[in-house]
Structure 1
Amino acid sequence: MIKNSVVMLALALILGSCSISKEVRNERKTINGNWVLEHVGYEGSEGSFKSMLFEDANGFCFEGSTWYFLENNSTGSYAIPTDNSVCAGGVRNIRWSVLENENGNDKLQFKYIDEKKKDIYGKVGYRLEILSLNESQMTLKSDVNVDGSPVSVVYKFSKQ
């Protein structure tokens, strides 16, 4: 009887340590669905920028892209519009999650996957700070260095 109790307690501790917080669970539910990336902006430096985002396409190519997040299996995709000859349009499959940050804003993270839901580039992925999130709007930010100076890339989404 005591052995069973100890085993059950150990199992409960293991399962409890793997669970996500209520806040992250709510963020995942809010992110779930279809979004449009309305605007990509830059903060922290003057001038105009030409940027390669997510090692995929120029920043302006992402404006108007549609993003789909499926909460129940943490997969999704984004599609860059094909109406611009400069941008390599098409769909990219992703696996995503929300990373809890006790010292600041939580982060949306994703990595590329193939049609069979296998990682394409191993442990390479991207993390974007969640600045704001509600049922209709989401603002994310990533910090980068440009010529040794910090610049923030800000992504403004609207839910469809």
Structure 2
Amino acid sequence: MKQSLLLITVVGLLLSSCSVSKSARGQRDLFSGTWSLDNISYENNSGNFKSVIFNDAEDICFEGSEWFFRDNNSTGRYTIAQSTLCNGGDRFFRWSVVEPSQNYSSQLQFKFIDENRKDISGGYGYRLNIVSLTEQAMTLKSNVSVDGQPVTIVYEFSKK
């Protein structure tokens, strides 16, 4: 009897520790679907910037890219159009919403996977601060350093 009670308690604790909060679940639902990355801009510094985003492609290649988030299995992809400057194609990722803490707001985190959903990033991933998220638009930000000075990259999306 004591072992059964202990087992039920342990299983209950494990399930509750793995569950997603109502707030994070709501954000996951809003992410679900297809988005267009309409604009990338820079804050907290002056000058013109040219950057490689997500260790993948130049910022100009991401403008107009299509992003798809599937919430039932936490996978997605973004598609960059082929051009003389950009190596086009699909990039697959696994994503989640990280709960807010004292140090940051909610964040979108993702890491690259292959078509078979296997990790190809060696555990390395990215986190973007969720500034705003509605059914039709979202704004994400990431903080980077340029010559030791902070710069914020702003990503503005619209729902398709």
TM-score normalised per structure 2: 0.96
Q: How far has the Cα of 1:6 moved from its partner?
A: 2.1
Q: Cα deviations across residues 36-95 of structure 1 (Å, max 9, x unaligned)?
A: 00000000011110100000111111000000000000001000112x311111111111
- Residue 76 (structure 1) aligned with residue 76 (structure 2): yes
Per the alignment, residue 152 of structure 2 pairs with 152
Q: Note the 1:12-23 alignment, pairs <5 A.
A: 12-23=12-23
Q: Distance in 2 between matches of 1:85 and 1:46?
A: 28
Write the distance in 2 (CA, Å) between the matches of 1:31 and 1:62. Answer: 18
TM-score normalized by the length of structure 1:
0.96
Amino acid at match of 1:96: W
State the partner residue of 1:90.
89
The secondary structure found in structure 1 opposite 2:86 is coil
Residue-pair matches, total:
159
Structure 2 spans left out of the alignment, 5+ residues: none
Query: Sequence identity of aligned pairs in percent?
Result: 50
Deviation at 1:102, TM superposition (A): 2.0
Q: Relative to structure 2, which stretch is displaced further, 65-74 or 1-10?
A: 1-10
- Report 1:91-106 matches (<5 A): 91-103=90-102, 104-106=104-106
Runs (4+) off by over 3 Å: none
Q: Secondary structure at the match of 1:138?
A: strand
Corresponding residue for 1:11? 11
Q: CA RMSD in A?
A: 0.9
Unaligned runs of 5+ residues in structure 1 are: none
**Deviation at residue 110 of structure 1 after TM alignment:** 0.7
Amino acid at match of 2:85: V
Question: Using the alignment, how far apart are the partners of 1:62 and 1:14 within structure 2?
Answer: 39
